[in-house]
Amino acid sequence: METEEHLLALKVMRLTRPTLSSPLPLTCDSKDLPGNLFNNALQQDPTSVQGTETLCCGQFLLLPQSPVNIYLGETFSSYICVFSETQQVVRNIYVDLQTSSQKLPLSANPPTAELAPEETINIVIHHEVKEIGTHILVCEVSYNNAVGIPATFRKFFKIQVLKPLDVKTKFYNAENDDVYLEAQVQNITMGPICLEKVALDASQNYDVTSLNFTNDGENIFGSTMLVHPNSICQFLYCLTPNKNVSDMKKLSGPIGKLDIVWRSNLGEKGRLQTSQLQRMGPDYGDIRLLINELPNFVVLEEPFTFKCELINNCERTVDLMLSFENVEGIAWCGISGRKLDPLPPHTTRILEFKAIPLIPGLNSLSGIKLLDTFLKRTYTYDDLGQIFVVIDDQKLSKSP
């Protein structure tokens, strides 16, 4: 099968930035066997800076000698040249560029009316890469020859898109329904990058607070977040549920997306947005008890009170029985085994407790039990909170 000859030639070249060229500082002592051979070669290296040959300070820009990797989120720039190789006038030249999933807009559309002999059509395109893997770039040129006969030809170019960042996330659930998100961003490219932005776009159920800034509003990483290859930066965010979200089931599922913007060592910009981060809601069970009010300091052997919020998460009214268990360091004041008033479904109630601390120092509040009289199920609440027990100096001074 003979290949059809066309009146036009097509060239497609990728536009990439050069790299800094620096010498390889291989030196030795003048008394060693090579003598001054390595030192003289280093001084004669055109890429070295005179007087600082061993510091790897390059003074030249090196054009890419091999295909350069392109990473997800970066912008693919390409130069397209259509050249007329005939002595005829070619008319209605149309250049179409597309990938396997979409067409790319070109500045040469609509079609060029005519192209004289040895003239060119020059096009520069910029395309943001949004998928990982092998991309096939299809460039199609259609035209009419001098007698009006249409002709079309194509050229195919393969692009390998790599993953630039490895993002890992961890969730931590607090007792007050806050969610702490730890994000680890690892640079898996071949060179250093500068992170310009790492932000969490929360879903409508949450309000997000970035914990990556000081009280003065300064970034804890400094003015420049430089990440070397295979290095990791950790970021922390606090997500607080909106007050209008009452159903705990709404708090499971997507919580938001991470938006990351970076630049390479020569300023090429890249952007990566993760998919929706999924979170499984904590399993609190049918009955939940959490601290509502608790003093930070209490006096040894003096009664103190604190309040807890009792929450019914189930679909039925529950009848509960409250009891206390003897624990070290705390003496409970009140009736153990008393029955509480019925608690309707998805409602809350404030319970007040009274206790006496028996040991100085940091103590945990433990030993509260709730019995569901219908299911005969016991809920034990240990380590509800912590109190710091201090000794009253006035009592010590009065003691004999």
What is the mean pLDDT of the segment spanning 14-39?
72
Decide if 73 contacts 272 (C-beta within 8 A): yes
Q: Which helix (H) or strand (E) holds 19?
A: strand 19-21
pLDDT (tens digit, 9 = 90+) per residue, 269-300? 889 888 888 877 666 678 888 888 999 899 99
- Are 90 and 143 in contact by the 8 Å Cβ rule? The answer is yes
Place of tokens 């790492």: 198
176 and 273 together in one domain: yes
CA distance 364 to 86: 90
| Residues 196-221: b if buried by 16+ CB within 10 A, e if exposed | eebbbebbebbebeeebeeeeeeeeb
Tens digit of each residue's pLDDT (9 = 90 or more) over 140-149: 888 888 788 8
pLDDT exceeds cutoff 60 at 346: yes
C-alpha to C-alpha distance for 240 and 235, rounded to whole angstroms: 17
Q: Which of 279, 307, 339 is the last residue of a domain?
A: 279
Residue 384: inside a domain, yes or no? yes
Sheet of 361-364: strand order equals 297-299, 386-390, 361-364
Q: Please identify, among 251, 279, 307, the residue that sits at the C-terminal boundary of a domain.
A: 279
Answer yes or no: is pLDDT of 331 > 60. Answer: yes
Q: Is the pLDDT of residue 63 over 90?
A: no
99 vs 23: which has the higher pLDDT: 99
- Angle (CA) 208-210-211 rounded to 5° is 130
Residue-level pLDDT at 34: 65
Question: Does the residue 40 lie in any domain?
Answer: yes
How far the first Cα of the chain sits from its last, in Å, is 115
Shared-domain flag, residues 295 and 263: no
CATH number at residue 229: 2.60.40.1230
One domain for residues 226 and 303: no
Q: What is d(CA 169, CA 183) in angstroms, rounded to the nearest whole number? A: 5
Residues 107 and 149 in one domain: yes
How many Å apart are CA 102 and CA 96, to the nearest integer?
Answer: 11
Residue 182, domain member (yes or no): yes
* Sign of the dihedral through C-alpha 22, 28, 30, 35: negative
- Contacts of residue 304, Cβ cutoff 8 Å, sequence gap at least 6: 295, 298, 354, 355, 356, 357, 387
- Reported as a pLDDT band with limits 50, 70 and 90, residue 169 is very high
Q: Same domain for 149 and 73?
A: yes
Residue 176 in tokens: 């007050």
**Cα-based distances in Å from 42 to 54, 58, 63, 251:** 8, 12, 21, 63
Supply the range of the domain harboring residue 189: 165-279
Same domain, yes or no: 36 and 73 = no
Residues 147 and 183 in one domain: no
Per-residue confidence at 259, pLDDT binned at 50, 70, 90? very high
Say yes or no to pLDDT of 232 above 60.
Answer: yes
Query: What total number of domains does the chain contain?
Result: 4
Q: Which pLDDT score, from 0 to 100, does residue 1 have?
A: 39
Q: What is the pLDDT of residues 314-329, one digit of tens each?
A: 889 999 999 999 888 8
pLDDT in tens, 37-51: 777 777 777 666 676
Judge whether 187 lies within some domain: yes
User: What is the Cα 129 distance to its own chain's centre?
Assistant: 18
Taking the C-alpha atoms of residue 360 and residue 330, their distance in angstroms, rounded to an integer, is 10
Query: What's the pLDDT score for residue 110?
Result: 59
Spatial contact of 297 and 387, defined as CB atoms under 8 Å apart: yes
* Domain assignment of residue 399, yes or no: no
Q: Please report whether residue 54 resides in a domain.
A: yes
Write down the pLDDT at residue 2: 44
Edge-to-edge order in the sheet of strand 330-333 = 287-293, 304-312, 348-357, 330-333
Using CB atoms within 10 Å of the CB of residue 5, give its burial: 0 to 12 exposed, 13 to 18 middle, 19+ buried: exposed
Looking at residue 255, what is its pLDDT? 85
Q: Do 176 and 158 reside in the same domain of the chain?
A: no
Is residue 2 in a domain?
no
* Domain identity same for 333 and 360: yes
To the question of pTM greater than 0.75 for the whole model, the response is no
CATH number reported for the structural domain that contains residue 122 in this entry: 2.60.40.10
Q: How confident is the model at residue 395 (pLDDT cuts 50, 70, 90)?
A: low
Strand (E) or helix (H) holding 37: helix 37-43
Model pLDDT for residues 106-133, shown as the tens digit of each residue = 654 556 778 888 888 888 888 888 888 8
Using 50, 70 and 90 to split pLDDT, how confident is the model at 304?
very high
pLDDT 10s digits, 351-389: 999 999 999 999 889 899 999 988 889 988 888 888 999
Q: What's the mean per-residue pLDDT of the chain?
A: 82
pLDDT tens-digit readout, 81-110: 888 888 888 888 877 777 767 776 665 455
The yes-or-no verdict on residue 30 having pLDDT over 80 is no
- Kindly state whether residues 108 and 188 are assigned to the same domain: no
Q: Positive or negative, the Cα torsion across 324, 328, 330, 331?
A: positive
- 172 domain residue, yes or no: yes
CB atoms within 10 A of CB 144: 18
Length of the chain: 400
Shared-domain flag, residues 75 and 114: yes
- Looking at the fold, whether 269 and 177 belong to one and the same domain comes out as yes
Look up residue 219 and give its two tokens: 């970034």
- In angstroms, the CA 15 to CA 45 distance is 28
Predicted confidence at residue 33, as pLDDT, reads 67
- Average pLDDT, stretch 329-335? 89
